[in-house]
Structure 1
Amino acid sequence: MKPTKKLTAFLLFISVLISCTSNEKDNNNCETCTYAVAAGETAGSVPTTLQGEFNLTLDISLNGYSKTAGTKAKFIIDAKQLTVEIDGDECLILKNPTVSANGVEFTFKDTCRDNIMYAISEKSSGGLNEINVVTLNGQFYGQFK
């Protein structure tokens, strides 16, 4: 094999190895819950203006929510995925958001572990406003800001 082909094969091998390592780190051994969008709901895609990593604090806790005001959490928002890392809980990856009729709220439903929804809302000026925590039945639990 020529030296150029050997070098190319070696670089390809290294890039595949690095790629696999990065995916394992991104997952952080989180439980994954893929929601099946129901009839009457609209599948969504979170816009880039709301995507990113956000360290938020639970500002409001009501109606028997197990987390108290002041609880810290990290949310990683992508177009089709939300990673939830609330202090004291195992991390969770939620897939397949739905979008509200007015297109300003994107909801990720946890139908696998905690049976709650995380509703991401956008400020009128753009960017993340808050993440509301709501039961699957629609009862408001809290708000991360």
Structure 2
Amino acid sequence: MKTAGAVRGNISNSSNLSQSLLLHAFESPEYGAQKHAKFTILKTRYWAIKDVLTNNKYRDYFTPLPYNSGYFMCIKLRGGLDGEAIRDILIKKYSIGIINLNNILRVAFSAMAASDAQELFDGILAACQDFESK
């Protein structure tokens, strides 16, 4: 019983501080405007990515998978491409960091400017072409 009480007293209440801070933030008069501003930023990034990916030049190398957020999305590499090798080229040559999951590249765009969307996907395209030319 003492152990169960210690667990409840220490672990169960560990989020009290964060919950209190969030409650305070939610009650702030600026909260609504701040939330709307961040939503607008995410929405702008989302649509910038959608717009860039309408260009057919990427189709020979990758296909975007369905996504609906302003944080990340995935692209499926066409057969014959090596996601890990392309990930390595991207970081070393183009300073673009992505995650490779079995030739599906996870692209986090949550911290980039919407204006960088073209450069991001052109970099991925260039890395795919670099891989092929080896």
TM-score (norm 1): 0.31
Instruction: Give the number of the structure whose residues are more often helix, by fraction.
Output: 2
TM-score (norm 2): 0.33
Question: Computing the radius of gyration over CA atoms, which structure comes out larger, 1 or 2?
Answer: 2
